[in-house]
Structure 1
Amino acid sequence: MNKMRSLCLILFFFTVGLAKYPEDEKSVRWLMNRWQQEYNVVYKSATQNIEKFKTFRENVKYINWLNKAHNGQTEFELNKFADLSPDEFKSKILMPKRQPPTFESSRYIRGSGLHERDLPESFDWSTQGRVTPVKDQGDVGTCWAFSTVENIEGQWIQLGQPMTNLSVEQVVECDGVADIPHNNTHADCGIFGGWPYLAYQYVMKAGGLQTWEDYWYCCGLGGKPGTCDICPAAGYNWTRCGPPVPYCNMTQSCAVKINPKKFVPGLKVVDWKAVDPNETAIAEQLMNIGPLSVALDATLLQFYHKGVFDPIFCSKSNLDHAVLVVGFGKEKDLFSTKPFWKVKNSWGETWGENGYFRILRGSGTCGINTQVTTAVLQKP
C-alpha cells in the first residue's frame, strides 16, 4: 500500500541520487490535491485551505532539506502529517518534552555482561506472532498509553495466552496517576501525555484491563464518527498536566464506561521493572522478556519514510514520544554497517515502514535507551 501511495503522491527529481519533491506552486498544488484525495481531507473554509497550502508547501521544502541533510541514509516523505507544521505536530501528536526519571537501583533489570559480539545478527518478535497489529493514536498525545498497553499485550502472549488487543482507551480515560513520591513533574495526563511506568501502576491498582473491542479507542478520532469527549481521570493533576479540556461528557468517560467484570480473566499486572540503559543489556532483555516500552525525542520522525533513523540532531534527555521496541538488526552496505532497533509506532500502518521505524542502536540515539520499562504479569 505504501508503494502505491508513494507512486500517486510523489513527483521525483533526481539530484545526486536523492528523491526530491518539486517546490514550484503549480506542482505543490497538484501534490496537495492528490494528498487530500488520498487522505480524504476537506477544509472548512477557503481561508483554512490557503493557510494549509502554505504549511504544505513549507513541509515540501522541509522534507527536501531533510532528505538532502541525511544523504539518503534515512528517507522522508509526505504523509498523513503533511498539513501540520512541525510546531503543530509537536503540540498535537507528541507529548510535552520531559526528562526521563531515574529509578531506585532495585527497580532495574541488569545485563548479564553479554557483549555486543555475542548477540545474534537480528531478532524480531513481530515475525514470531508476538506483537499485536499497528494502531493509530489519531490527533492526540496518547502514545504513552499505547506503549504501555502494547508491552502488556506482549507479556500476556509470553505467558502462553492468545494474542489479545487490550484497551488503550481505558488507560487514557481512567489513569490519573502522578509521581508524588519522587516530587517531580511526571503524571499521566490523558490526551496530553503520560509515562508508561506510571500507567503500569494504574493497571495494578485497577486490577486489570478490558479488551480493545469492549472499551474501544475513541479519544483521538478528531471529530470523526465515534469520537468521544472524555473527562479527566480521577486524580488528574492540574499542576503537572495543565488545565483539562474545556468541555467533556461524563457519559462518554471512565466513570460510566469501565466495567471490571469485563477485565481479561487472569491478566494481572503485579509489578513493573526498568531495564539498564546499556543497549546490549536492552537487547538481551528484549530477547528474554519480550517487546519493551521505550521513549525518545521524536521531533524529526514526523515525515520519516524508511531507513535507519539517525537524525542530524535530537535530544538524549528530553523525551516526547513513547513506543515499543520489538527487535534489532544490522543494515549493511558496501561501506558501513548500521545496527538498529526495530520499533512499533502508534501512527497507523501507512506511516513509516508499515507502521514501524528503525533507529540507530548503540549510541543512545534520541534517548531511546533512557526509559526502557516492562510490566510484570502474574503467572498462571
Structure 2
Amino acid sequence: MRGHWLLPALCLLRCFLCVQITDSQANDVFTLLMERYNRSYEPDTSEYFLRMINVKESIRRQAVLNSPSSDAPHNSSATYGINQFSDLSPREFRERYLTSEPENVPWFPKNKTGGHQSEAMALPAKFDWRDKNIVTAVQNQESCGACWAFSVVGAIESVYAKEGHPLEPLSVQQVIDCSYQNQGCNGGSTIRALSWLMQSQEKLVDESEYPFKAVTGVCHLFPVSQFGVLVKNFTAFDFSGLEEEMKQKLVEWGPLIVTVDAMSWQDYLGGVIQHHCSSHHANHAVLITGYDTTGEVPYWIVRNSWGTSWGNQGYVYIKMGDNVCGIADSVAAVFV
C-alpha cells in the first residue's frame, strides 16, 4: 500500500501536466523519494545532481504516460508516478532489472480439425492461484538481474503445492549459481533454466538451505538424499492471438512463466496497463498467477520480483486480449 508520503509528489505531477515543473518542486519530490527509499546522496555532488536530473526526467515521462486515452476507461487505466526506480536513468533501469533473454518458442499447436489443442472448459470470470494458497510471497531481486530465475522458481513452488505438497519457498540462488547456460545476476533465459533443471535432474532445495544473496556465487552441490523438487518436464508456446486458450492453460497447468517488455514499468504505480507497453522487445520474466474479467477491462494478474513496494503490492495488471507487453509471446509451464 502506497503511503501518504506519495501524495505531495502526485500533486506535483498533476501540476506538471499543465506547467513546467520547477527546480524547487523537483527537489521536493527528490527529497521525498530519498526519505521513502532510504537513498543517501551527498548534496552538491555530481551523483546528487545526476539523480536529480533522472527524477525530473521521470516526471516528464509520467506526464506522458498519465495522459488520458480516448479508448481506455479512466477508472481502470494504469497510473504512473514516483517509485523506487525514479532516480535511475532508463538505461540504468534496463541494465539492472530487464535482463531476461527471450527465446523463440513454437506457436500453440492446432489439432486435426483445425482448432487449437485446448479442451473447452467452463472458466470462472475471475481466477487467481493465490486464492488456492499455492503462490509464495513476492520477493525482491534487488540489483541482481535474475528475474528469469525468480519466475521459474515461483512456478515450480506453485506447481509443487498444486500437486498436494506444502507450499515452501525454494532456492532462487541455486538456479542463479548453477544454471550454467545463463549468466546469473547478469541475465538469463527462462527456457534455458527450465531445460537445465529437467536435463540435469538437479533437485531444487529449500530457500533456507541455499538463501538468496543478490550476487552470483559458486554452485553448491547437495547429496542425492537431500530434500528437493525435481522438474519432470516443461512446455513453452507462443500464445499471441490465443489468450483465451492461455487462460485455460493457466487454470489447468498452474501459474505461467512469461517474458515481457517491461520498459514502461519503471514508472508504474498501479491499475491496468493498456498502452505504452511494446510487444517487440521482451526483456523481463514474470509469473502470471490469475486473471480477472469481471470489470470493463479484463486483465492478467502478474507477480513481479521487485518487492511489495512496487505496483499493486508487487503485482502488475496487464490488459487481456491484445498481447499487451508481449505477455502471450513466450509462455512456459512446468510439471513436477
**Given the two structures, how large is their TM-score scaled by the length of structure 1?**
0.77
Q: Contact between 1:97 and 1:318, CA under 8 Å: does it hold in 2?
A: no
- Deviation at 1:163? 0.8
Corresponding residue of 1:288:
252
Any idea what SS the aligned residue of 2:298 has?
strand
Aligned to 2:267: 303
Matched, 1:101 2:104: yes
Q: 1:211 to 1:174 in 2, by over 3 A?
A: same
2:100–2:146 Cα contact (<8 Å) kept:
no
Summarize deviations over 1:78-137 as a string: whole Å, max 9, x none.
101010111211111102664x4124988x9931255xxx53211111122110000011
Partner of 1:39 in structure 2?
37
Aligned to 1:111: 118
Deviation at 1:208, TM superposition (A): 0.8
User: Offset of 1:273 from its aligned partner?
Assistant: 1.2
Q: Could you say which residue in structure 1 is the equivalent of 2:291? A: 328
Are the structure 2 counterparts of residues 104 and 58 from structure 1 closer, same or farther at C-alpha, using a change threshold of 3 Å? closer
Number of aligned positions between the proteins = 322
Q: 3-state DSSP class of the match of 2:133?
A: coil
Show the counterpart of 1:312: 276
Residue aligning to 1:340: 299
Which residue of structure 2 aligns with residue 249 of structure 1? none
Give structure 2 stretches of 5+ with no counterpart.
Answer: none
1:24 corresponds to: 22
| Contact 1:55–1:84 (8 Å) recurs in 2 | yes
Residue 202 in structure 1 maps to residue 196 in structure 2: yes
2:152 aligned with 1:148: yes
Note if contact 1:110-1:275 (Cα within 8 Å) is conserved in structure 2.
no
Contact 1:300–1:311 (8 Å) recurs in 2? no
Q: 1:21 to 1:355 in 2, by over 3 A?
A: farther
Asked if 1:269 is matched to 2:231, the reply is yes
Structure 1 gaps of 5+ residues are: 178-187, 220-227, 231-251
- Provide the residue aligned with 2:60 in structure 1: 61
**Superposition TM-score, scaled by structure 2 size:** 0.87
Could you tell me which of 286, 302, 308 is aligned with 1:349? 308
CA 1:69–1:139 in structure 2 vs 1: closer, same or farther (change >3 Å)?
A: farther
- Give % identity: 28
What is the match of residue 159 of structure 1? 163
Shift of 1:360: 0.9
| Distance (whole Å) between structure 1 residues aligned to residue 19 and residue 162 of structure 2 | 45
Q: How far did 1:140 drift?
A: 2.8
Contact 2:136–2:167 (Cα < 8 Å) also in 1 = yes
Is the 8 Å Cα contact of residues 147 and 323 (structure 1) preserved in structure 2?
yes
Contact between 2:156 and 2:334, CA under 8 Å: does it hold in 1?
yes
Q: CA deviation at 1:357?
A: 0.7
Change (3 A) 1:331 1:59: farther
CA RMSD of superposed structures (Å): 2.7
